[in-house]
Amino acid sequence: MKWAIRKAAVMSIKRSVFFLFASLAICGALSAQDKHSHSAEQSVFSAEDDAVKKPAAIPEDVLAILAKDGMVSRTREDENLPAEKIPRSWFSASAIHLSKSGKTDFVVMAKGPLAGGNVVTFWIFRGTAHGHELVLTAPMHDLVVRHSRRNGYRDVELTSMSAVKISSVLCRFDGKRYARYKSKIEDIR
């Protein structure tokens, strides 16, 4: 009788250990899958690049907002183009997930006549139930979408440089748009 009770206890422990390991394996696989889907997104953007490395089609509502940007409007006028004829070739976009909402957000990088020397304008658009909304415009050398979050959205680090200084700005989402959180300027060594 004692032997049967002991055997049942051992079997119960073995089942518990099996289910524990099975649960951990499933959770690990799901976690790795989630990390893989976000790691497949481009999160580092630079003026050194001619375009984004993981391109995505620019949605019509994003293009309409870009057409209203002051720099884009002035360049369009200089090129004698009508407002509805903004060339898509002036932009390069990459899809990204800034929050866990499931909506697709975009980082858009200026190209062609909109790009500057050592500086390029970046625009960040967040996906909403009503389309996309511009949440950051930044002429910088680099833009990095970090893993840290504020108000549910990933932080953004901006970097620019001169011949002797490097400037970094950390932007955090304030509930409506990205705003400067802290900045620093350092000498280039």
For residue 187, the model assigns a pLDDT of 93
Check if the beta carbon of residue 111 is closer than 8 Å to that of residue 89.
yes
Token couple for 100: 């866990």
Question: What is the band of 142 on the pLDDT scale with cuts at 50, 70, 90?
Answer: very high
Which has more pLDDT, 108 or 85? 108
Name the burial class of residue 138, with classes exposed (0-12), middle (13-18) and buried (19+) by CB atoms within 10 angstroms of its CB: middle
Average pLDDT over residues 68-94: 94
Check if the beta carbon of residue 67 is closer than 8 Å to that of residue 114.
no
Percent of the chain with pLDDT strictly greater than 70: 79
Q: Are strands 142-150 and 153-161 parallel, antiparallel or unpaired?
A: antiparallel
Rounded Cα distance between 44 and 188, Å, is 21
Mean pLDDT of the chain: 85
Above 70 in pLDDT, residue 22?
no
For residue 17, the model assigns a pLDDT of 34
Task: Convert the pLDDT of each residue in 151-170 to its tens digit.
Answer: 999 999 999 999 899 999 99
List of residues 6+ apart from 170 with CB closer than 8 A: 155, 156, 157, 158, 180, 181, 182, 183
For residue 33, the model assigns a pLDDT of 38
